[in-house]
Structure 1
Amino acid sequence: MSISAVDIGQHALRRTPRIHPAWTMVAVAALALIAAGSFTTIAGLITEPLVETKGWSRTGIGAAVAVNMVLYGVVGPFAAAMMDRYGLRRVTSYALLALIASSGLTAMFTPSVFWFVLWFGLAVGVGTGSITTVFAATVANRWFYRRIGLATGLLTAAGVFGQFAMLPLLSVLLERADWRAPVLACGALATAALLGVLLLLRESPAAVGAVRYGADHGTEPADTDGRVNPFARTATAVRDARFWVLASMFALCGATTNGLMWSHFTPAAHDHGMAATTASGLLAVIGVANILGTVSAGWLSDRIEPRLLLAVFFLGRGVSLALLPVLFTSGWSPDLVAFAVVFGILDVATVPPTLTLCRRYFGVDSALTFGWISVFHQLGAGAMALTGGLIRDINGSYTPLWITAALACLIAAALGTIGSRIR
């Protein structure tokens, strides 16, 4: 009788009682998130080589990136619904397969920018959109009764690690080969993640004869029916005013992070005479600090009221943004490095407490609901990316943008504190 790889993985999980299998799921899910994250920031790395070698316009390449970003936000809630209906491992595997295929097709078959939009914009957008914080929330909800904030923080940090920590390695590959090398490297990482998912990822603790971490059989909920219409469940959530409070807060969150820093920090730094390489280095510092902030926020979310955490995080972010105009110089300075560290710590730290509130308000539907809330995050990011350009064109300076963003953080802090008071 033959033994499959899945059987071997199942047996391995059952043989290690000293380490709860929930932590194995975190490790496997983290690898998938790192792989997906590596695809989300590679566009900026390969844009110039594509312009030089392919002769494509930046507008055409930008169209692919725009499709990618929209799908990254929109696909999440649908992926969460499919994970409930068809299985966590199956949906994650298909998403990683899409990333693997798209990396190969992008590198080997892109005769025109249309195909780049198709492979990199559409396929990568769907693949990465299926493996985001919604995926992290699903894994954490299914496998943890206690320490769910820490688990969420670790998984969110994994996505951030993939987005930023992989860039130096991918840059080296680009210098030593061409633009195809980093694209294929991301595909290889997705392949490793797929093997881990197929071997070790399980649908629930019951599949390995366990209960959620920190739970006992008396606290475990009854199995939910995956056949429940996800749109009906979403309709229930959107009728709750607290959904709109969290969605509005997260729209402001996206506006004051992705839409602000990744779109306008480098041009603003250029206005102060700073080289692009220096600005990129400061953004890298922000990315590294993200990991510390996210993991710490997850740990704190298990111990401190999440509404208080959100208020502190948004207030701190607002103060840092208000001070940025007077901190800008033409090069590295201790003040700018301190800003990068502080802003980085607070950047993605809002995710774990928001997920905790989603779980408190919406129970078993929290992952799906958070997926829709994340759509508003992307909408806020896009709106700020556009608004920042308009402010710069009209005013000739980015200073009003930083003040506007600081005020938005104050509003988000207020929204975060009142969520549970509204029914």
Structure 2
Amino acid sequence: MENVENERLKKSSKTYYGWIVLAITFVTLLVSAGIRSMPSILMLPLEKEFGWSRGGISGVVSVGIFLYGLVGPFSAALLLRYGIRRMMTVALVVLGASLAITPSMTALWQFQLLWGLVAGLGTGMMANVLGVTVANQWFEKRRGLVVGILTASAATGQLLFMPLLAKITADAGWRYSIYTAVAVIAVLIVVVSLWMRNHPHDLGLAPYGSDQVVPPSPFRGNLFLTPLRVLGEAAKEKTFWLLAGTFFFCGFSTNGLIGTHLIPACGDIGITTVVAAGFLALMGLFDLVGTTLSGWLTDRFDSRWLLFWYYGLRGLSLVFLPQALHMGYTEMMIFTVFYGLDWIATVPPTVKISSNVFGKTKSGMVFGWIVVAHQIGASVAAYGAGAMRDWLGSYTVPFMSAGFVCFFAALMAVRIARTTSANPTTTASV
């Protein structure tokens, strides 16, 4: 039955089917990222309704961010073993169930269970590793651009979701924003089940840019032990530690800090949640441009120097942020545009370096471990910034500190050895 459906899709599509797979993956990552960022909208309403502290709510976000990253390497193995479509469907069902129960919670530990644990694991299955796997399976050429587009979808989720959900929360209450997200997930489950495909070979196609129709390499090994073994091999390379280190600071300065705390920081000085969500949405718009452009640049220029400039410019914007918050809307708009262009532009060059050093077969799992470092940094920032806000009464120190660690990350990036092809000692079959 599935073979008949595959033939129908192949014949009915006038464009290369990989672009349809790209579009479905883009929307899935977009929705997942939008939902992952919802706690920043919920923070003030939950604080008001239940009396939970800023630090306590930040702790839930911190755990969710950490698990979101930790599941990445194992997600790469699961995607290779069971297929992209099946694992996307399972992850969406788990995430939808977690959200559907959330409006009934009454205690902080329940919020921790639903959003820290279950939602963290569910969205982790639909993180950057998914985008890297799709790009590697379906595209031989334009891979940097494809990774850039799929990476940009993470911030674009804020573009479509944050203002809408913030408006619903302000007008009808936070529970109705949850119901809206559940409805979107239900539609997406149907789309993925009907039209997503695992590999071009399923439709008798070659990867884009290639003329060879070959089946996917079968995953061999233990789903739990193989990612750990890949980590052990990658850890022998200096490049892995430099990429993981820069990505730690990347997470520290993006979703852990700005994604979690910009709305509460704006609320501290009287900027409404809807307006603050608008700033994040605008960042998502400019990130779509910036990260897609970064993918294009990655296909053409030295990834190490791209990372140097990305981290350095991000550092400048974060050092400027405390002043922008108190100066007015014009200055905040300048920060929003400048920072948004650089939000996660670091992913395409990081993925390219990882693929060159560790090979196409292992790059998904290796990049998954690099993302773990990213999410550890984000987790530290999510909790640390909330705790420092409770202690110091403002976000000035966390924002300034993040700016300076970005300068350090820029220096780390230029220490990465220049590579042009996969290291033959690390590309053996998994």
Q: TM-score range by the shorter chain?
A: 0.7 to 0.9
Q: Specify the alignment match of 2:133 in structure 1.
A: 138
Alignment match, 1:149:
144
- CA separation in 1, counterparts of 2:260 and 2:165? 21
Percent same amino acid at aligned positions? 35
The 1:263–1:65 alpha-carbon spacing in structure 2 relative to 1, beyond 3 Å, is closer
Could you tell me which amino acid in structure 2 is paired with residue 132 of structure 1? Answer: A
Q: Residue 306 of structure 1 aligns with which residue?
A: 303
| Equivalent position to 1:260, from 234, 238, 257 | 257
Preserved CA contact (<8 Å) 1:205 1:212? yes
Aligned to 2:209, the other structure's residue is in SS state coil
1:57-96, aligned counterparts within 5 Å?
57-58=52-53, 61-96=57-92
Structure 1 residues 43, 323: CA separation in 2 closer, same or farther (over 3 Å shift)? closer
Closer, same or farther: CA 164–72 of 1 in aligned 2, 3 Å: farther
Measure how far apart 1:130 and its partner are: 0.9
Q: Does 1:345 align with 2:334?
A: no
Q: Does 1:27 align with 2:19?
A: no
- The TM-score, its normalising length taken from structure 2, stands at 0.85
CA shift for structure 1 position 276 = 4.6
Deviation at residue 275 of structure 1 after TM alignment: 2.8
Is 2:35 the partner of 1:14?
no
1:147 positional shift: 0.6
Do the aligned partners of 2:248 and 2:378 also contact (CA within 8 Å) in 1? yes
| Counterpart check, 1:114 vs 2:109 | yes
Q: Distance in 2 between matches of 1:115 and 1:266?
A: 23
Partner of 2:417: 420
Q: Which moved more, 1:220-229 or 1:178-187?
A: 220-229
1:155-174 superposed matches below 5 A: 155-174=150-169
Deviation at 1:230, TM superposition (A): 2.8
Given that 1:274 and 1:329 are in contact with CA atoms closer than 8 Å, whether structure 2 keeps it comes out as no
Amino acid at match of 2:182: G
Aligned letter for 1:45?
I
**1:185 match:** 180
Query: Can you list the C-alpha shifts for 1:246-295, whole angstroms capped at 9, x where unaligned?
Result: 00111111222233334555666678x55354554433332322221111
TM-aligned CA deviation for residue 10 of structure 1:
1.8
Distance 1:202 1:60 in 2: 41
1:358 paired residue number: 354
User: Counterparts of 1:392 and 1:119 in 2: how far apart (Å)?
Assistant: 25
SS in structure 1 of the partner of residue 207 of structure 2: coil
Task: Rate the CA distance shift 1:110–1:248 in 2: closer, same or farther, 3 A.
Answer: same
Partner of residue 36, structure 2: 40
Match of 1:411 in 2: 408
Residue 227 (1) aligns with residue 227 (2): no
Q: Is the 8 A contact 2:43 2:264 kept in 1?
A: no
Shift of 1:356: 1.3
Q: Which runs of 5+ in 1 are unaligned?
A: none
Residue 364 (structure 2) aligns with: 367
What letter corresponds to residue 166 of structure 2 in structure 1?
Answer: S
Counterpart-to-counterpart distance in 2, 1:178 and 1:393: 25
Counterpart for residue 381 of structure 1: 378
Greater alpha carbon shift after TM alignment, 356-365 vs 165-174: 165-174
Of 198, 202, 205, which residue of structure 2 is paired with 1:203? 198
Aligned residues: 414
Once residues 417 and 408 of structure 1 are traced to their aligned partners in structure 2, the CA distance between those partners, rounded to angstroms, is 15
Q: Which residue of 1 aligns with 2:313?
A: 316
The secondary structure found in structure 2 opposite 1:166 is helix
* Larger CA deviation: 207-216 vs 403-412: 403-412
Cα deviation, residue 98, structure 1? 0.2
Deviation (angstroms), 1:323:
3.8
Aligned partners of 1:159 and 1:231: how far apart in 2?
26
What letter corresponds to residue 23 of structure 2 in structure 1?
A: A
| TM-score, scaled to structure 1 | 0.87
Instruction: Give the Cα separation in 1 of the matches to 2:249 and 2:379.
Output: 11
Which range moves more in the overlay, 166-175 or 30-39?
Answer: 166-175
8 A Cα contact 1:242 1:420, kept in partner: yes
AA aligned to 2:411 is: A
1:16 Cα deviation after fit: 4.3
Superimposed CA distance per residue, residues 195-245 of structure 1 (whole angstroms, 9 cap, x where no aligned partner): 222112222111110111111229x69724343633222221122211101
In the alignment, which of 238, 241, 244 is matched to residue 241 of structure 2?
244
Q: Which range moves more in the overlay, 67-76 or 407-416?
A: 407-416
Alpha carbons of structure 1 residues 12 and 196: separation in structure 2 relative to 1, 3 Å: farther
CA-to-aligned-CA distance 1:24-66 (integer Å, 9 cap, x gap): 111111122122122212223234444555x352466444333
SS state of the match for residue 370, structure 1? helix
Equivalent position amino acid for 1:352 in 2:
P
Offset, 1:114: 3.5
Query: In the superposition, relative to structure 1, how do residues 303 and 75 fare at CA in structure 2: closer, same or farther (>3 Å)?
Result: same
User: Helix, strand or coil for the counterpart of 2:15?
Assistant: coil
Distance 1:213 1:291, change over 3 A: same
Structure 1, 370-379 or 380-389: larger mean CA deviation: 380-389
Query: Distance between the aligned counterparts of 2:59 and 2:388, measured in 1?
Result: 23
Q: Alpha carbons of 1:308 and 1:13: their partners in 2 closer, same or farther (altered >3 Å)?
A: farther
Q: Equivalents in 2 of 1:184, 1:206: separation in Å?
A: 38
